[in-house]
Amino acid sequence: MTHDPALWAGLFLAVTTALLLAPLYPAWKEWLRPQDSDALSLTPQAISAELLAVPHFRLTADMPMRPLIEATESIEALPGSHFVKLAAPRIDFGEMHSGFADAPPHTSEARHVDLHHLPHATAWGHGWRVEGDCRIPAAHRLKGPLVVTGALSVEPDCLIEGDIKAHGDIRLAPRTVVTGAVVGEKNMALDNHCRVQGPVVCENHLSLGNAVVLGQAQQATSVSAEHITTASGVRVHGSIWARTCGNVT
C-alpha cells in the first residue's frame, strides 16, 4: 500500500473541513432561502379567572367554589354562594342594608371593669389569664390582652381593648367591639353588629351574624377557620379563608 504524505494530508484536511462546516449547513440553507422570517405564532393559553386583577367580583350561588378569588377593590358574595378564600379591600356577604356603616357602635358610655375583678383572673405577662370559663358582663369595658383556658362569653355592648384568646368556645354578644385579635381553639360565634379590628382565628366553626364588621377600611385584617357561616350584611376588610368551606346564608 502506497503511503503518500500529500494524499493523507489532503484527506485529513477534507474530513476536518467537512466536520467544521456541517453544523453551519442549516444556517447557510436558511440564508439562501429564508423560511422563518415571520413572527412565531403562539397558541393562546387559558388564564384562570381568579388570577386576573379585576377591580370587582360578584360571587353567585351557581358558581363553583374556587381556591382563591381576589379583587383590587371589592368582592360581593351573594346569599347561597360558597367560598374558600376571598381577598379584597372590601368583601360584602349577602344583602347589605341601606345606611350600613363600618363605624363601631357607640361604646363610650360603657363602664370600665378591671380584669382582676373577674373570677379566677390573675396577672399574666402584660395582660390577664382566667382559669376555666369566663363571662364578661354586659356594657363593660376591659383592657386586655385576655387569655381564657375555658370558654369565653362576652355579653352585649362590651368594649375589649386588646387581644383575646380562649381554649374553649368564644361567643361575642351583639354590639361587642374588640380592638385587637380574637383567637379561639374551638367554635366561635360573633353576633349581630360585632366589630373586631384585628385578625380572627378559629380552629373549628366560625359563625358571623348580621352586620358584623371585621377589619377596617384603613387597616386590612385576616379571618380564618375550618368552616365559616356568614349571615347577610357581613363585611370583611382584607382576606377570609374557610379551609374546608364557607357559606353565605
Per-residue DSSP letters for 31-90? HHS-S--SPPP-------GGGS--SEEEE-TTSPP-S-EE-SSEEEE-TT-EEEEEEEEE
Give the other-Cβ count within 10 Å of 37's Cβ: 6
* pLDDT value for 124: 80
| DSSP 8-state code for residue 199 | -
Task: Give the span between the Cα atoms of 230 and 130, in whole angstroms.
Answer: 29
Report how far residue 110's alpha carbon sits from residue 5's, in angstroms, rounded to the nearest whole number: 112
- Identify the helix (H) or strand (E) that includes residue 9: helix 5-21
Which residues face 239 on adjacent strands? 87, 222
Q: Would you place residue 43 in the very low, low, confident or very high pLDDT band (cuts 50, 70, 90)?
A: very low
Q: Give the span between the Cα atoms of 184 and 200, in whole angstroms.
A: 8
What is the pTM (predicted TM-score) of this model?
0.77
What pLDDT, in 10s, does the model give residues 187-244? 999 999 999 999 999 999 999 999 999 999 999 999 999 999 999 999 999 999 999 9
Q: What confidence tier does 119 reach under pLDDT thresholds 50, 70, 90? A: confident
Whether residue 81 contacts residue 65, with contact meaning beta carbons closer than 8 Å, is answered with no
Going by DSSP bridges, is the β-strand pair 195-196/177-178 parallel, antiparallel, or unpaired? parallel
Find, among 222, 194, 188, the residue nearest to 206 by Cα. 188
- Would you say 168 and 186 are in contact if contact means Cβ atoms under 8 Å apart? yes
Over 70: is that where the pLDDT of 26 sits?
Answer: no
Task: Over range 179-186, report the average pLDDT.
Answer: 97
Do 133 and 152 contact (CB within 8 A), yes or no? yes
Q: Which three cell numbers stand for residue 49?
A: 379567572
